[in-house]
Every structure is written in structure tokens, then in C-alpha cells.
Structure 1
């Protein structure tokens, strides 16, 4: 008589409970997890169980019943009641034989399972047939989807992965077809990571927003933060505001707009569809929760990036130091990667005459000057007190010498001079050996009177 799958499971549990004191539960496969949809009371009922976890996961994965007379001896047992000693778990299968869940019974009496395995298997078969007649296990609810996506966003290793996860979550939870993140930036609002193929609504929305005046995007963000989340009712004949014109040109008929993060540095999440729909307040609330989780995860990634940068950088000059330098030169390409060993001429006299604060100012000024003289993609490291190394990629040794000479000219403009030794990584040569040759070339400059460049022999 059950009209829903949940009712069928609840009535099954209630009927069995009238004939045995066991703790009884039915768990069904819902989006790669076993979700408990009916159970008798116990100390702890697990809402969901990961795939293959516990005896229930083992039975579901194998499709084979399990009778456990001593749960303490089974490493897969998931404790639900302190007095449980025995368990019977049988698969709930569709008529075709594919398990869609499990029926689980647990007793405090070790003899409890003996007469019940056959009964449990017959009841589970009837339940599986009824579940199939009712359309299969219940679909994942929107709140369950949100929890699953929130976990995915928390685990995202990069900002790109996070934005991709957030956009995918917005589409899945809202059931609308497109989602776009617009975030504030130093150069103005920018779009988050794309996640779909060109040609659909989301790609059209992105194209229109990318071509729109940045002021329009700024007003979309400001509107959401000033007035809160908003949505259309999908009714034709009502003209959009000017700020929404790019979305209308893309084909948007239904829109949910939710603020993300703080007004000064956050953005807006736009979730849209080309169908005429009527979003409900619950959808908007779920999008607000999603936006909040996405921002918290983004803030965490930014904080971690700052910590990594601090750990990998020289606190005085901001240049990367010995740890990253070692990793970089380990990836040197023979014949193309050049190491430029740099030493500040007469730096000890600055510290001795004017003090360490003056010496620090000299180092910071030189670091900025040398960075400015390098090309895009060249890297500068501080590996000692007044010792720097530039790692560059070149086609010819003469190109590396030319860049070293640019560095010496940049140093002279600060009122200081430097000596530079240049060495190209050789075939089968270790990075340490290349650096030693660069140092030897540097000392050759020192012996000649400093303020110059010398190319090490290959």
C-alpha cells in the first residue's frame, strides 16, 4: 500500500520490529552513499554511510548477505548500540538483481541472527521489488546536494577548482541551467572559472558580461550587496533594468542574484535559465548558503597562499629564497637555463660604516632595480646576505650575458655596483655544479676589479 519508497521502507522496518527486538534499518543507495531512510531507535543512527564502509557497505558492494555472530571480531562493524553482539545484513535488490540498498538487523543476543537470515532475505526481496515499482531509491534532496558540494568546495586545492566547484554546485542545487561568478578585482570586476562548453546559455552569459562595461558589472555587484539576494519570477512583459540588459541579450529569462563575500572585495553569484520559471525563496536561501561557503573557502585559499608566499620569500626584499631556488634549478634545461650569480660590491663597508639599517635599504633598492631589469618570466632569488641569483631561459650564451649587463646598469643607477657570473647548465651537469661555475665566474669579475660580467666556460 506504500505510495512512496520512504513509506515502503518505514513500514518494512515497523513490521519487522513487531516480531524481534533487533535494531532495524534500511539504507538505500543515493548518489554513491548509503542513506538511512528508515530505522528503529538506537543510540546512533548514521544518516549516510560512505560506499563500502562497514558491514552494510560490504554487503551492498558484494550483493551477498552477511551473518555476524560476534560484531567485536568484525573490523567492518559500525557501532550503533553498546549492547549489540550480532548482526544480519542482506542486500535489497531490484528485480534485475542490482543491489539498491541493504536491510540491516542487529541484536544484543548472539543467537538472534539464526532464524532471521531467510526471513530478512525474503522481506528484502519484496522491498526491492516494491522500490522498483515506485521508481527506485529516492532522489538526493537539494540540502543533501548542498552538503555534498560544500565538502567538494572545502577540498578544492586551487581558486580555479573552487570556482569551478561553486558554479557546478549552483547549477545542481538550483536546477537552473547556468551559473556565473562575478568577483571584484584590482582591475575591476572579473568572471570566475568557466565550466561548460561554448554555445550554451552559460557561455553566452559569460560572453555578454565580458563585453559589458565594467561599470555594469560593478552595479550588479553593488545592487546585490546593497539590497540582498533577488530573483525574477520569469514573467514575460516586464522590462529588465539597464544593468540586466547583457543577461537578457544572452537569453536569460529567469535569474537569481546572490551577494558573495563583503561589499568591498566580494562579488555576486548569478544563477540563470532561459526557461520562464518561478524560483522559490528556498532556492534563494540555498544559493545564499552556497555563496557563503564558497567565499569562506576562497578566503581560506587566499590565506594559505599568503602563508606559502611568506614561507617561500625573503622577509626583507620579498624575493624568493633558497628553498624555492633549489627546486627551480633542479629543473634546469641544459643549454637553455642560465644562472646569474650576483654579488653586491663593497656591501660590507656599507654595514660597517652606516649600520645594518642602511645596508637593508641598499638591498631592498637593489632588489627592486634588478627585478625591473629582468624580462617577464625571469626569476630573481636572494640566497645570502648580499648574494642574489637570477634564473633565466635563453637561446644563446650571449643572450644571458646581455641580460647580466642590463643588471649591472640597473645597479649603477641606484648608486651601487654588482659583479655577475654567468653559467649555462651543461648536459648531464648537476644544478650545484652549474651554480659553482657561476660563482667562479663571479670571482673572476671580483679579481678584475668588480662591476662587470663574466661568462663561465662550458
Structure 2
């Protein structure tokens, strides 16, 4: 093999390339005439190595994290890799089953900074050393040409959307999700401001800003806040009734009434996209104070972003409801045995009081009037007991008609007074309760403390019900 000829034939076309992509594709096509190798060039785009040109492979990896595989190792270290047996290299990324050897060299700018890699893989006998030297010389020429053409290609807007979609999916909370959605809208649209308006039980509200919003976005948020929920609702209704919309970037045309607050904020270019269903969703507003003409592709990308954001938001809300159902009594809404066990496990000896509560005569209500009447009694009683507790006190339902309040007190008599308030609240509903009070002792398990509270409760039952007793220490 005349490697000098290979280098001449490949490099002669590089000056004619008008883009970095052309330079990479011509390099690959020329090299392929001299070797049956699987050849690929990967350049760094944002936080990944993206394959921009390839030939001879059944499959290539579209993007690779910078430190993944042999290509990632070479890019990260800046040192070429000659691998005579890929099966012995744990970093090898398989592209076809018959590959035996690989050469990977860094593509660097004239200052020696890596911008990508040139990778060759063979499935038959090959002299690796000459090909490594050839690959290194070609990579140096290619790197210089790429830099002369402005560097590696920029991340496309669809690639940006894909990257942001992964961030939306990984968002752990609604706040994080809205922050990620707003950042994505700015980045993908290339407009300077983005605001997410979501409807809810308390009316429409502005989504979380991301980082420090720019001047235009701050003005938009201020104008929308001043305009009030009615104006936000009208924007949401318009988006869901008529679909996505965008300005044409022409001066002298007044906006519709719904968008008057945005104009007052200085908006001259606007993309408005509905988010979610009409009854519970919202609207994504992406804006610029310069007079521009957004293209339909921008609107389409914003619609895809809005759909992904809503899917992720709906998933977070569903998970929150499931967690609430798993930790709450579905009848009364009170927390039940699981959270109660966690709470009493952290009880402070001498300070945390357990109030065991039992409804007097509850079985008679069920037997006489039916279980629906019994359920109504429990719900009404739960609300009455909650209202009688102080802020920070906690009420749990741990059985059919059995409740436990966990409260922090300074002395036992304070716990007794709160228990007496509970009995008074129960009487106002037309029912009575029996309450046993116990404070954890040093070294005492939470289960034993609750048992002493139960014993005090049943002592009240034996002495006529409708009362409070403090358990013996």
C-alpha cells in the first residue's frame, strides 16, 4: 500500500470543502477507496461525540458520550489507540460481529485541542502501524480544515430538543420540570424569553423561572402578574381554542386583546403553543422584543416541547397522587399506619406525646345505620379532631375507628389538656371519644409507648367512656 498516495488523494480535496461536514465526508469517501475498513469520523457537538461521516459499517453509533468506548478514550486522552484484538479491549463498542482490529486517532485543532476522532476498524489482516501513521497525518490535516471552516457543526435545533427532552424526563419535581421546559423553549426557539402558564385548582399561574430571567422575560412576568388570573385564562383559552400561533414580524398590526399585556412588556415577536388538555393545561409563550418572523418549524418544535413537558408533568402528578394514596387513608384523608410508624420512631422521650383515640359506640352506629353512616361519622369526626389540634400536631387513622395524635409538649399535663380539647370537639359533633395519653420513656420502644396509651384508653372505656387518662410512667 502506497500510504503517501493515500494521504495525497485524501488531502487534495480538503481545500475544496465548503463545510466541516463536507470535509469529513470527502475524507471518509477517499479513504474507503484504499481500505475495506469500517471508517467513521466523530466530532464533539455539545456534550457528545456525534458521528458526522461513516462508511463500510452495518451500524454506527450516532452519538457517544465523550469518555465512552475506544473513541471516547482517545478523544479524552488525545492519544491514538492501536487495538490489534478488539475482543481483548473492554472499551470496544461493537458495530459488526467480524471486526478484529481498530485504530482510533484524535482529530485536533492546530493548537492541539481535540475536536473529534477518526476511527478505522478491520475484519481481516492489516498492517496497523502504517495505517496509524497515515490516520494521524490525515486527522491533523482534517482538523486544520475543520477549524478553517468555523469548527465542528453546531448542534441542530432538533438535537437540542432531544437533549432537553431527556432533561424533562429526569426532572424530579414540578418546579424542576417547569424550569427545564422554560430553558428548553429559549434554547430551541432561539428567542430570548419564555413563560409557561399553567391552569390549576387555584386558577392559572406562571411557571417557575429558570435561573435569572432576562429583562424582557422579567417584564413579561411582571405584566402578566399585574394583569391577573383573568388575563392568563384568556390566553390559555385562546391557545386551546385556535391552536398554536405566531407573529409574522410585520410592523403596524395591532395584537388581539389577549396579548395586550405582552405588548406592554415590549414583545414584538411571539410564539404561543397550547400545553396539555383545555381544562387542566396551559400555554407556552416564547417571545422576543426584536421584530422577527418565526418559521413554522420553530412552532412545530415548540409544540413537540409542550407535548413532552405535559407528558412529564402528568406523570409527576400521577406519581404524587399514588404516593399520597399509599400514605393516606382514602376515607378521611389522614395519614395511616406507614407514616405513623415512621413518625413515632423519631419520638423524643419526655416530649412527644401519643394520644390513642377510640370512637365510643361506633359499632352500634354501623350495626344500626349501616357502614355509610359509619363512614360519614368518621369523616366528620376526623375534621373535628384536626381542627382542635395545634399547628404542627399530627393525626393518624390506624384502624377502623382508631386514631392516634402525635404532639410535642413540654410536660404531661399539656398533653392531657390537648386530649380534653379533642373530647370537647367530638362532643360538638354529637359523638364521644375515649383518649389515652402516654409519653415515651428513655429507652422505651415506640410500640411500648403506644401500648401504654392504649391501656390508658381502655381504662377510660371501663370507667364510662368520654374521657381522658394519662398512662402511668
TM-score, length of structure 1 as denominator length = 0.92
User: Which of 235, 242, 255 does residue 257 from structure 2 map onto?
Assistant: 242
Q: Give the match for residue 310 of structure 1.
A: 325
Aligned pair partner of 1:189 in 198, 204, 221:
204
Are residues 1:419 and 2:434 paired?
Answer: yes
User: Does structure 1 residue 150 correspond to structure 2 residue 171?
Assistant: no
> Which structure's CA Rg is the greater one?
2
Aligned partner (choices 235, 246, 254) of residue 269 of structure 2: 254
What is the CA–CA distance in structure 2 between the aligned matches of 1:154 and 1:110, rounded to whole Å?
46
Match of 1:123 among 138, 143, 152: 138
Question: Who is 2:398 aligned against?
Answer: 383
1:428: Cα distance to partner?
7.0
Q: Mark the CA change 1:171 to 1:198 in structure 2 (over 3 Å): closer, same or farther.
A: closer
* Residue of structure 2 equivalent to 1:107: 122
Once the two structures are superposed, what CA deviation does each residue of 1:205-264 show, in whole Å capped at 9, x if it has no partner? 112212213221111111111111111234443322322222122222221110111111
Task: Report Cα offsets for 1:308-362 as digits up to 9, x if no partner.
Answer: 2222222333322111222233344566644332122233444555555554443
Q: Tell which deviates more after alignment, 58-67 or 349-358.
A: 349-358
Q: Who is 2:113 aligned against?
A: 98
Residues in 1 aligned to 2:161 and 2:332: alpha-carbon distance in whole angstroms: 44
Mapping 1:147-296, distance limit 5 Å: 147-197=162-212, 200-296=215-311
Mapped to 1, the partners of 2:250 and 2:419 lie a distance apart of 67
- Measured against aligned partners, the alpha-carbon deviations of 1:350-399 in whole angstroms (never above 9, x if no partner) come to 45555555544433332233234334544321112322112345566665
Range that drifts further, 304-313 or 31-40 = 304-313
* 1:418 Cα offset (Å): 1.2
Question: Would the aligned equivalents of 1:25 and 1:36 in 2 still touch at CA under 8 Å?
Answer: yes
CA distance in 2, matches of 1:422, 1:33: 62
Q: 1:449 deviation in Å? A: 3.1
In structure 2, the CA distance between the partners of 1:330 and 1:131, relative to structure 1 (3 Å rule), is farther
Match of 2:5 in 1: none
- Alpha carbons of structure 1 residues 198 and 302: separation in structure 2 relative to 1, 3 Å: closer
Q: Secondary structure at the match of 2:130?
A: coil
2:36 matched residue in structure 1: 21
Structure 2 counterpart SS, 1:115: helix
2:262 is paired with a residue of what secondary structure? helix
Paired residues for 1:355-434 under 5 Å: 356=371, 358-393=373-408, 400-423=415-438, 431-432=446-447, 434=449
Q: Is the 8 A contact 1:107 1:113 kept in 2?
A: no
Which position in structure 2 is the counterpart of 1:62?
77
Change (3 A) 1:393 1:134: farther
Question: What secondary structure, in the 3-state scheme, does the structure 2 residue paired with 1:388 have?
Answer: strand
Provide the C-alpha distance between the structure 2 equivalents of 1:400 and 1:273, rounded to a whole number of angstroms: 60
Q: Which residue of 2 aligns with 1:449?
A: 464
Q: 1:329 aligned to 341, 344, 354, which one? A: 344
Q: CA deviation at 1:432?
A: 4.1
Give the superposition deviation at 1:182. Answer: 0.7
Moved more, 294-303 or 403-412: 403-412
Does the 8 Å contact 2:168/2:181 carry over to 1? Answer: yes
Moved more, 318-327 or 236-245: 236-245
DSSP-derived class of the 1:19 partner = coil
Per-residue CA deviation, residues 39-72 of structure 1 (Å, 9 max, x unaligned), is 1142112111123111111211222211122222
What is the total number of aligned residue pairs between the two structures? 458
Counterpart Cα distance in 2 of 1:445 and 1:43 = 81
Residue 284 of structure 1, CA deviation: 0.8
Which 4+ residue blocks in structure 1 deviate beyond 6 angstroms?
426-429
1:32 corresponds, among 47, 54, 58, to: 47
Which consecutive residues of structure 2, in runs of 5 or more, have no partner in the other structure? 1-14
Question: What corresponds to 1:343 in structure 2?
Answer: 358
Distance of 2:25 and 2:354 partners within structure 1: 72
